[in-house]
Amino acid sequence: MTRIVQSLYPVSSGLTDKDDSLSAMSDHHHGHDHDHEHEHDDRPGPHGAPLTDVQLRVRALESLLVDKGLVDPKALDTLIDAYETKVGPRNGARVVAKAWVDPAFKQRLLADSTAAIAELGYIGRQGEDMVVLENTPKVHNVVVCTLCSCYPWPVLGLPPVWYKSGPYRARTVIDPRGVLREFGVDVPDGVEVRVWDSTAELRYLVLPERPKGTEGMTEEQLAELVTRDAMIGVAQVKAPAR
C-alpha cells in the first residue's frame, strides 16, 4: 500500500524513468504556497524553472572569482559536500540517536517536533516548522518536494542534487517503491509506504528504525550510524559490521 500525504494534485501517468520533465504536472495547483527564495536551487532544473536574480548574481560572482584565481572550484565542491553530507546531517543524526535512547525525548519529538529539535539547539531558517515521521515495521516514510526543493536545513544541511532533480520529485510520487529500490531499499509488500510532500511552511525528517544489534551502543555511537539518506527515507540505517 502506498499513501501520498500532502499531495493535492492528480498524478500524471505520462512520466517514465527516463522522463526528466515535470511538464506533465505543471498545470496542476498545489494546496500550499511555495513563494519563497530558492537559493538552494543552484541551476535551472529539469522542470525548466529560470534562475532568480539572486541565483544569477551568485553564479556570476562565482565565475568571476574562479576566473581571477581567487577561488578554487574544487575547494568550493569540497565545502558544499561537507555541508551536504557531514556538518548538516550530523545535527539530524543526533536528533535520531537521542530519540532511540531517550523514550521521553522521542515522545516529545513526535508530539512537537520543532520544539524537541530546538531543545538540542537546532533551529533556524528552513526549519521553523518541523514534523518528524517515525518508520516502523508496518510503515516506511519517504520525503519529497514536488514543486521545488524544500528541505530542513538546520538538521540536514544542504539538499543533495538528486533531491532537487525532476525524476526524483516526479517519480517518488508515482512509483515510490521503484525509486526506493533504486536507492537499495526493498520495502516488503506488507509495509505501507507514505510519501510526504514538503512545503514552504512544513519540513519533514524521517526517524528511521533502530537497527538490531545496536542495543549496547551509546548515543554518540548510534549517531555515527545515521545517514542523511535515511533521514529523507531513501535508505535504512545499518548496524556496524562485526
Residue 127: which residues within 8 A CB-CB, separation 6 or more?
114, 117, 152, 153, 154, 155, 203
- How far apart CA 162 and CA 201 sit, in angstroms, is 22
- How many degrees, rounded to 5, is the angle at CA 93 between CA 89 and CA 95? 120
Q: Which three cell numbers stand for residue 93?
A: 543524526
Strands 203-207 and 130-134: parallel
Residues annotated as catalytic (active site), given as ranges:
145, 148-150
- How far apart CA 66 and CA 91 sit, in angstroms, is 31
Burial label for 67, CB within 10 Å (0-12, 13-18, 19+), is exposed
Burial label for 170, CB within 10 Å (0-12, 13-18, 19+), is buried
Contact in structure between 138 and 189 (CB atoms under 8 Å): no
Q: How many CB atoms lie within 10 A of CB 7?
A: 18
Angle at which helices 103-111 and 88-101 cross, to 10°: 120
Q: Is 80 helix (H, G, I), strand (E, B) or coil?
A: helix
β partners of residue 130: 203
Q: Which three cell numbers stand for residue 181?
A: 529500490
